[in-house]
Chain A
Amino acid sequence: MIRIALRMLTGDTAKYVGLVCGVAFAVMLMAQQASIFVGLMLRTAAQVIDVVDADLWVMDPRVIYVEEIEPLPESALWRVRGVAGVGWATPFFKGLTVARAPDGRLQQVFVLGVDDASLAGSPPRMLQGSVEDLRRPGAIVLDRVGALFIWPGEEPAPGKVLEMADRRATVVGVAEASAPFTTFPVIYTRYSEALRFAPPPRKPLSYILVRAQVGEDIDALAARIESETGLLALRWQDFVWRTIRYYLTRTGIPVNFGITVALGFIVGAAVVGQTFMIFVLENLRQFGALKAMGVSNGTLLRMVLAQAGAVAAIGYGLGIGLAAVFFEVTGRTNVDLRGFFLPWWVAAIVAGAVVLIILVASIASIRKALTLDPAVVFK
């Protein structure tokens, strides 16, 4: 009877297509918007995520997200280095400045200053040049997409020259960096150079990157740093969450995306529910005939659920596929949208939402079919 139910469904092409498109639209809207939201939230902490060689980020306890820097005195670095269990601790500078290209074009850029000696905090994925080249005077490593903003239409390459704070900077390498929230180019340089390219107001130190000694418990070390220095020490994951939490609670971004996702759910449920209800109502006489011929309510229930399940599965596949294609295509063709992707868990949550939509859509239809009097066929 399940095959017959599916044939009934696909036989009414207009409604079948309408139902599948309704689910696909809802899935695509929910998956795409939720994924962009996730991508945006990850962008807010891009520069934390890109530092791969530190176990802990140490900062002023008043810091509530990565962009709101409370500069530390350089003495803080020595206090941290003095805590037992610290393998190494290096300064990390994060600032904003304006870069001027030789053609006079101005561009606001992020300047990240990594430790002069160890280069800890350098970009993890170099595309051209070497991190070691940062040791040269005035050397900078530029992120690939940032270079396209500064020199549109030109392939990023070492040797290009910029001017920041009236100082000449030479590109010695190109790196792949996670897209920041504001899409400014990201420039990596040594800490000492960074202080010249983006002069800080008074205290220079943005963050301290800490690597624990081998075998050291990271959480215990963080607690020790906090108690001995009065600073805040966070694992990079915790710092990422602290930053994301700021955007979640202090901005309208989640509300905005939440409304769109909710609209996708509501519109999907309404369209699919109504169309499915009409489909069942129009087939009521056929269901009545089947009931008259001895089809039990249990079988009828399975038939309606099979129809709803087929619509859900095909619509979901189509919608999630379209969302994946959207990210694949836009990620390749639009540098502003790089880094957005469809996380597997968003796909899973949307699948759950589709199950809910289909259940909501089917309940009224199922009731109609189950309470149907088979004598309707003689009327």
Chain B
Amino acid sequence: MNGAVVTARGVAKDFPSGDGTIRVLHGIDLTVRAGEMLLLVGPSGCGKTTLISILAGILSASEGAIEVLGQDVRHLTPSAAARFRRETVGFIFQQYNLLPSLTAAENAAIPLVVRGERLDRATRRARAVLEGLGMGAHAEKLPRQLSGGQMQRVAIARALVHDPPFIVCDEPTAALDAASGHEAMRQLRASAVRPGRAVVVVTHDPRVYGFADRIARMEDGRIVEIAEDAAAIRRMTEH
């Protein structure tokens, strides 16, 4: 393990509700280190997705401080936040969000195109990443021609193609059966976890806890427990 990629201190988030606001995150303190895969777990509605949205620069926190690779991401303007996400973050979404009219390779190439690379060159690089994930034979297929597991691997390739230092992953196994979910996590772990890169995975699937370096358990907008070692992770899995 190396230094911190993400540091959150006292992070709170309020959403408007009726005439007032409702607080969904309360004083979150969290560090995500380089080279680790951190799982954020907890029941639905506990604030996991809100927290990764804030860490990834999609939502802004109402209170607290967030630094990603030393950059304050709480006070970014919309265009600076877009630039931050473009340069720093890789995303894997629960519903994959692949563009249906693009091939697997073209979908995987999108982060490079967003950064200004030509589509054909970006697609060549994306094809190499797909090869590494065992998807070379499916690179020219459209999403509708792929299985759920294959689409998840395309989404992983898309998150990796521009080699970001921080990857956020929202419920990567939620739409997959047990075997496909296990395989997706294995591939995510094998391909995404690298020295200098932090991976945060939101999940409520205890079957994938074993892939984590650490697990942060949330309840009611608070981190209530962090499993720091294998034994603690095992205990959390059993519970």
A contact set with B: CB distance below 8 Å: 1, 3-4, 7-8, 10-12, 285-286, 288-297, 299, 374-375, 377-379
Q: How far does the Cβ of A8 sit from chain B's closest Cβ, in whole Å?
A: 6
Contact of B101 among A8, A293, A374 (CB under 8 A): A8
Across-interface contacts of B95 in A (CB, < 8 A):
285, 377
Q: Given contacts A4-B119, A285-B95, is CB(A293)–CB(B59) below 8 Å? A: no
Chain B interface size, as a band, is 20 to 34
Question: Roughly how many angstroms separate A292 CA and B86 CA in the complex, as a whole number?
Answer: 8
Q: Given contacts A4-B99, A7-B99, A294-B82, is CB(A378)–CB(B93) below 8 Å? A: yes
Enumerate B95-144 residues with CB–CB distance to A below 8 Å.
Answer: 95, 97, 99-102, 106, 110-111, 113-115, 119
Q: How far does the Cβ of B55 sit from chain A's closest Cβ, in whole Å?
A: 12
If over half of A's interface residues share one DSSP class (helix, strand or loop), that class is named, otherwise mixed; here it is: helix
Question: Roughly how many angstroms separate A286 CA and B84 CA in the complex, as a whole number?
Answer: 19
The answer to whether B113 and A289 touch across the interface, beta carbons within 8 angstroms, is no
Which of B82, B89, B100 has most chain A Cβ within 10 Å?
Answer: B82
Q: How far does the Cβ of B205 sit from chain A's closest Cβ, in whole Å?
A: 16
Q: Given contacts A3-B119, A10-B101, A11-B100, is CB(A295)–CB(B94) below 8 Å? A: no
Q: Which residue of B lies closest to A294 (CB)?
A: B86
Q: How far does the Cβ of B138 sit from chain A's closest Cβ, in whole Å?
A: 18
Across-interface contacts of B79 in A (CB, < 8 A):
296-297
Across-interface contacts of A1 in B (CB, < 8 A):
113-114
Q: Which residue of A lies closest to B93 (CB)?
A: A377
The answer to whether B101 and A294 touch across the interface, beta carbons within 8 angstroms, is no
The answer to whether A294 and B170 touch across the interface, beta carbons within 8 angstroms, is no
Complex A-B, nearest 7 residue pairs according to Cβ-Cβ distance, in ascending order: A11-B101, A294-B86, A289-B97, A294-B85, A378-B49, A296-B82, A7-B101
Question: Roughly how many angstroms separate A296 CA and B79 CA in the complex, as a whole number?
Answer: 6
Q: How far does the Cβ of A197 sit from chain B's closest Cβ, in whole Å?
A: 71
Q: How does the 8 Å CB contact mask read for B136-156 relative to A, with 1 for contact and 0 for none?
A: 000000000000000000000
Across-interface contacts of A4 in B (CB, < 8 A):
99, 102, 106, 110, 113, 119
Does B91 make an interface contact (CB < 8 A)? Answer: yes
Which of B49, B97, B106 has most chain A Cβ within 10 Å?
Answer: B97
Q: Which residue of A lies closest to B88 (CB)?
A: A294
Question: Roughly how many angstroms separate A293 CA and B94 CA in the complex, as a whole number?
Answer: 15
Q: Which residue of A lies closest to B90 (CB)?
A: A293
Known: A11-B99, A294-B85. 14 other contacts (CB 8 A): A4-B110, A10-B101, A11-B101, A11-B102, A285-B95, A289-B97, A293-B110, A294-B83, A294-B115, A295-B114, A377-B91, A377-B93, A377-B95, A378-B49
Contact of B97 among A3, A7, A295, A377 (CB under 8 A): A377
Across-interface contacts of B114 in A (CB, < 8 A):
1, 290, 293-295, 299
The answer to whether B58 and A292 touch across the interface, beta carbons within 8 angstroms, is yes
Does B52 make an interface contact (CB < 8 A)? Answer: yes
Q: Which residue of B lies closest to A295 (CB)?
A: B114
Question: Roughly how many angstroms separate A375 CA and B52 CA in the complex, as a whole number?
Answer: 10
